[in-house]
Structure 1
Amino acid sequence: MILRLLLIVVVLIVAVVLYGRLVGRRDAETTYPGLTEQARARISREISAGRKINAIKVYREATGAALTDAKRVIDTWFVPGQGPGVEDAARSWTEGRLTPEARARISALIDDGRREDAMTLYAEATGASDTEAQAIIRTWDTTQDY
C-alpha cells in the first residue's frame, strides 16, 4: 500500500517537472512582442557585462520562452553561426567605429595567426567587450571590406 502511494507521488512529480520543462511558464494575459532590436541590444550588453542571469530574464520577458530554452539561447548568443549576438556585435561596433587603418591592421593580424592581438586591437578600437571582440574576430573574413 505504501509502495503504491510512493509510486503515485513519484509519477506525479515527474509529470509536473516534465510539463514545466515542455510548456514553460506563460501568462495568459501577457502578450510577448518578440525579440526587438532594443531587447537584442540589451541582451548583448548584459552578456558582455557578465550578467547572464539578467540576459536570460530579458530574453524570457521579450519572448515568453521557457527557462531551459532561454538559457540555451543565451549560452550560444555570441557563438558564430548560432547566436544572434554575433550579428548584433558586428553591426553595433563596426558601423563607423573602425577606421580603414584599423580594419587593415586587424586583417593583417588574423592573416599572421595573431587572433588574440586582433581581438585586443578590435576591442580598443571599438569599445567592444572581450566577448564581443572574440565573437567578431572568430568570424572575421579578411577578404571583406568591413
Structure 2
Amino acid sequence: METLVIIAIVIVVLLVLVGVVATRSSARRSSAPAAPRIEVPIGPDASAEVDRLLAAGKKIEAIKVYRDATGTRLADAKDRIDRWAPGTTAVPIVPAVQPQDPASFRASLPASVAAEIDSLLAAGRPIEAIKLVREQSRLGLAESKRVIDHWTPGTF
C-alpha cells in the first residue's frame, strides 16, 4: 500500500515538471520577434472598394478585400485597415532604420509625416510625436523616443 502512495506521488511530481517545462518552452517561442511587416500597396479599384466598405461601416469586409488584394496575414490586414485613410492606397510605413542616425530616419519619412512631427514638437507634444514615429516605423518605444530626442525640426 505504501508503494502505491509513493508511485502516485512520483507520477504527480513528474506531471507537474512536464507542465512547467512545457509552459517555459511555449513562453520562449512566443517571445521571439515577429517577422517584419511589409506594406503592400493595392490598386485603385481595391482601394476604392475599401473606402466604400469602411464608409458603410463594414470593417470586416474591408479587411477581406485588403487581404484578397495583397495576400497579407489577417493581423497585418487588420492593422492596415485600422490605419486606413480614405482615398489612399497605402499609409506609408517607413522601413525600420537605425535610430542612431536621425537624419537618414527623417529622410526616409514622407514629408507630411516629418512636418507633422515638427508641429507636434513645436507644440510641446513629444509623446504624440513618439507615438507617430512608432506607428510609421514599427520601432519600439525606446528607439522612437531616441529618434524624437535627436530630432532636428525642418531639416532634411
Tell me if TM exceeds 0.5. Answer: no
TM-score with structure 1 length normalisation? 0.41
- Normalised by the size of structure 2, how large is the TM-score? 0.39
